[in-house]
Structure 1
Amino acid sequence: MSSRSALLQLINDCKNVRELKQIHTQLVKSLSITESDRGFLVNRLLFVGALSSLQSLTYAANVFNSIKNPNLSAYNIMIRAFASKHGSDDGEDQSLGLGLYKRMLFEGIAPDCLTFPFLLKERANVSDTSRGRIVHGHVVKFGLDKDIFVNNNMISMYSSHGAFVDCARKVFDAMPERDVVSWNSVIVGYLRAGDLDSASELFGRMKGRNIITWNSIITGFVQGGRPREALQLFQEMQTTGYEAVKPDKITMASILTACASLGALDHGKWVHNFLRKTGIECDLVIGTALIDMYGKCGSVDRAVEIFRAMPVRDNLAWTAMISVFALHGLCEEAFRFFEEMQALGLKPNHVTFVGLLTACAHSGSVERGRWCFDAMRCIYKIKREVRHYACMVDLLSRAGLFKEAEGLIGTMPVEPDVFVWGALLGGCLVHGNVDVGERVAKHLIKIEPANHVFYANLCDLYARAGRIGDVKRIRALMRARGIQKEVPGCSMIEIDGIVREFSVRGSAKSMIMEELFWFLNRLGDEMKIGENTHAFL
């Protein structure tokens, strides 16, 4: 075996950085290796140190800096390593790969189709896109704007910043050749930007969808507040692409979330049964999603059964169960589970305390709520967030403790948002506190002058106080400002597995309104007959 082959085998078989250093020393000292082979082996050493499971970027950087004249391959390895390891999670722009790229150009080395994808990946991990657009310009300059791999990473970079999805679409439209990654990246970009209609339009034109495509569009519609359409997409997935693309855990978790949002218990039960039939593992994610679904659909006992049957339960599963109890005002059960959770050594998080505070608010447990609010900071060292303040204000307002609630708002370390003020206004509506409610409602209108809800709440407050003149004044103000209810009042009910929606505008798609009015009139007549019969008896 030649010296090159022997050393290459040793490099590939390395178990740790210490062995790499020993091989590097042997490589430097060996006189039987040609300069060409030495350069190849150093690059391989660089690759293993920077990109293998060893992942010693510090050592790889030292090796790279020891090379007198690094070639394109060496630069690509290090740029790739920096893009993979130094993409800052906190938004800080370290630009290590870009710095190497500039050095490479200064040395007169031209980039290739492997250089730019990693540079673009690094740009996708930071909040500033200006340098990413400069890299885009270099892609065009070096004639690599037709390469599908480069373009896919360009789309991904722009799509990672929702405000620049139009740039991603321009790159996509100009591509001479596209693959499933190209389509998926633009669709995800639209979903991140909240443009569900554009994502749906592109999805409808796409051929050869894979599981990432389906999961992206379904999850996007669930998170975008359109769960009914997410269920329809899941049905389409089953009828048109089930043999080619089967749903996985991510799909099912999203569908369970959609069922929870709609309160579609029958749909949720079907999904649960589907999980059993298909053999998809009921892991922590699926189990927690089932708990959430059954709880939000009103089946608390079934949620507890799922929770107890889980072989492993983390703090997210416990928090989900506590949140279910909170939703139904079961404060005692929520705190019993909280104590059980602590006994097992699991630490609560900020979401756990949202659930506990919500349970206190729904059950009127003021003292427990005060304890939770203090304990999360003093005992559990959890930073209070705006939603914790909103829950506490809600609790105090429901109890009629408006002075304490306003005092708490005054101590907030951040500016209170509409949810905090809205919680206070909700308490005013319950107790008919016109003085505080009027002031809070006017403040909310000042914050969001186009939000019809605050005008409606103020009208409701005046109406309950008998101040009809003020009601008319606020309604006139709404008309003058062109403010109307964006979404009509509606309710949903699941009948035979079909979620039906009723609103003040009618429900022509689900039922003929004349038939509904006929049924209601007949029901009213039967109720009158029943009253007369009862009076006679």
Structure 2
Amino acid sequence: MPVRSLVSWNVLLALYARLKDYTECLDLFEQMLSAKEAKPNKATFVSVLTSTANLGQLDRGKLIHSLIRESSIEPDVLLLTAFLTMYVKCGAIESAKEVFDQMPERNTISFNSLVMGYGLHGLTNRALELFLEMEKCGSVPNEATFVCILSACTQSCDVLEGWWCFDRMVRVYNIVHNVEHVGCIVDLLGRSGLLKDTTEFVTDLTERTTKALWGGGIDVLLLETLKLGGWQICWE
């Protein structure tokens, strides 16, 4: 291309980020800055922050944050959520909380990112508190929200809290559980030594989803769930 516009750069950056070729995305961003053909905008930085987050490059993420602060760019909810997610994935949970507190508006993805971060750091109580705050603010939890909160409960073996969240997901929000949700419950019960409860849960799930006997055809969902929980099934 004899002339490359901002849109041209952004399309390619977004493509590399979508294809999970994060290193190439960041290399291309450096080329963009060197070429001085176009000035980065919000869309540019979302792709770059996504790549930085997945590579765990906290120093580069902080540098990008400084660049935006020094520029005339006014971060919107999408860009701020990208920063939030970057800090979470890089392990800087307090920096993520600072970004979250500064957000003039928050969406479901923003809440999900911080809930996930608390879960990864074993801060289950803070994850549950944020989940309750999310409900009060009117943000509707989705499937990913409950994967994050159930994972947090699993990390700290909070059985009652995990069951409460799972029940709320099904009864209040009418979300059909997927393999990740069930995998979290199986893992939670297994880590807590509640093998009998695990067996009852799995058996009940099998009967309700396939109405098949264990010796017959086990639901593919159930098999994948047990694999996620690290369970090995053997039968003759």
* Fold shared, TM-score > 0.5 on shorter chain: yes
Task: State the distance in 1 between where 2:65 and 2:15 align.
Answer: 21
Tell me: CA distance 1:416–1:406, structure 2 relative to 1, closer, same or farther (3 Å).
Answer: farther
One-letter amino acid matched to 1:222: A
Q: Distance in 1 between matches of 2:2 and 2:181?
A: 46
Counterparts of 1:291-310 in structure 2 under 5 Å? 291-310=84-103
Aligned to 2:75: 282
What's the CA shift for 1:320?
Answer: 1.8
Report 1:195-234 matches (<5 A). Answer: 206-234=1-29
CA deviation profile, 1:116-155 (whole Å, cap 9, x unmatched): xxxxxxxxxxxxxxxxxxxxxxxxxxxxxxxxxxxxxxxx
% identical aligned pairs: 35
In structure 1, which of residues 249, 258, 276 is the aligned counterpart of residue 51 of structure 2? 258
1:423 paired to 2:235: no
Give 1:317 deviation, angstroms: 1.6
The structural deviation recorded for 1:214 is 2.2
CA distance in 2, matches of 1:327, 1:269: 21
Whose radius of gyration is greater, 1 or 2?
Answer: 1
Counterpart mapping for 1:445-524 below 5 A: none
Matched, 1:396 2:189: yes
Q: Give 1:366 shift.
A: 1.5
User: How has the CA–CA distance of structure 1 residues 280 and 336 changed in structure 2, closer, same or farther, with 3 Å as cutoff?
Assistant: same
Contact 1:405–1:424, Cα closer than 8 Å, also in 2: no
Q: In the alignment, which residue of structure 1 is the partner of 2:145?
A: 352
The partner residue of 1:271 within 56, 64, 80 is: 64
Measured after TM superposition, the shift of residue 239 of structure 1 is: 0.9
1:58-86 superposed Cα distances (whole Å, 9 cap, x missing partner) = xxxxxxxxxxxxxxxxxxxxxxxxxxxxx
Kindly provide the amino acid, as one letter, of the partner of residue 115 in structure 2.
Answer: I
C-alpha distance 215-385 of structure 1, shift in aligned 2 (>3 A): farther
Superposition deviation, residue 310 in structure 1: 1.0
Report the counterpart of residue 131 of structure 2 in structure 1.
338
Q: Does 1:312 align with 2:105?
A: yes
Q: Which residue of 1 aligns with 2:172?
A: 379
For residue 212 of structure 2, what is the aligned residue in structure 1? none
Distance 1:307 1:292 in 2: 10
Distance 1:397 1:251 in 2: 44
| Cα deviations by residue, 1:6-47 (Å, 9 ceiling, x for unpaired) | xxxxxxxxxxxxxxxxxxxxxxxxxxxxxxxxxxxxxxxxxx
Residues 220/390 of structure 1: CA separation in 2 closer, same or farther (3 Å cut): farther
- Quickly say closer, same or farther: Cα 1:395–1:276, change in 2 above 3 A: same
Q: Which residue of 345, 362, 368 corresponds with 2:161?
A: 368
Corresponding letter in the other structure for 1:229: E
**Number of aligned pairs?**
223
Shift in Å at residue 403 of structure 1? 5.0
Structure-2 change in CA distance of 1:208 and 1:328 (3 Å): same
Cα gap change, 1:311/1:397 in structure 2, threshold over 3 Å: closer, same or farther? same
SS in 2 for 1:416: helix
Contact kept, 8 Å, 2:184 with 2:229, in 1: the verdict is no
Quote the offset at 1:338 in angstroms.
1.2
TM-aligned CA deviation for residue 374 of structure 1: 1.2
Partner AA of 2:130 in structure 1: F
Superposition deviation, residue 400 in structure 1? 3.6
SS of residue paired to 2:62: helix
The DSSP-based 3-state class of the residue aligned with 1:348 is coil
CA, structure 1 residues 239+407, in 2 after alignment: closer, same or farther (shift >3 Å)?
farther
Q: Measure how far apart 1:207 and its partner are.
A: 4.2
**Per-residue deviation, residues 436-472 of structure 1 (Å, max 9, x unmatched):** x3639xxxxxxxxxxxxxxxxxxxxxxxxxxxxxxxx
Displacement of 1:246 in angstroms is 2.1
Gaps of 5+ in 2: 210-218
- In the alignment, the residues of structure 1 paired with residue 143 and residue 170 of structure 2 have an alpha-carbon distance, to the nearest angstrom, of 10
SS of equivalent residue, structure 1 residue 259: helix
Q: Which amino acid is 1:415 matched to?
A: V
Matching residue's letter, 1:420: T
Contact 2:42 2:79 in 1 (8 A): yes
Q: Which residue type is aligned with residue 265 of structure 1?
A: L
Distance 1:234 1:422 in 2: 39
How far the C-alpha of 1:290 sits from its partner, in A, is: 0.8
**Residue number in structure 1 paired with 2:34:** 239
What letter is aligned with 2:93?
Answer: V
Root mean square deviation of aligned Cα: 2.3
Native 8 Å contact 1:287 1:310 kept in 2:
yes
Aligned CA distance change for structure 1 residues 299 and 374 (closer, same or farther; 3 Å) = same
Report deviation, 1:316: 2.4
Paired with 1:402 and 1:219, the residues of 2 have a C-alpha distance of 45
Q: Alpha-carbon deviation of 1:346?
A: 2.6
Give the C-alpha shift of residue 407 in structure 1: 4.9
**Normalization by structure 2: what TM-score?**
0.84
Provide Cα deviations, 1:217-243, integer angstroms capped at 9, x if missing partner: 222222323212211111111112x3x
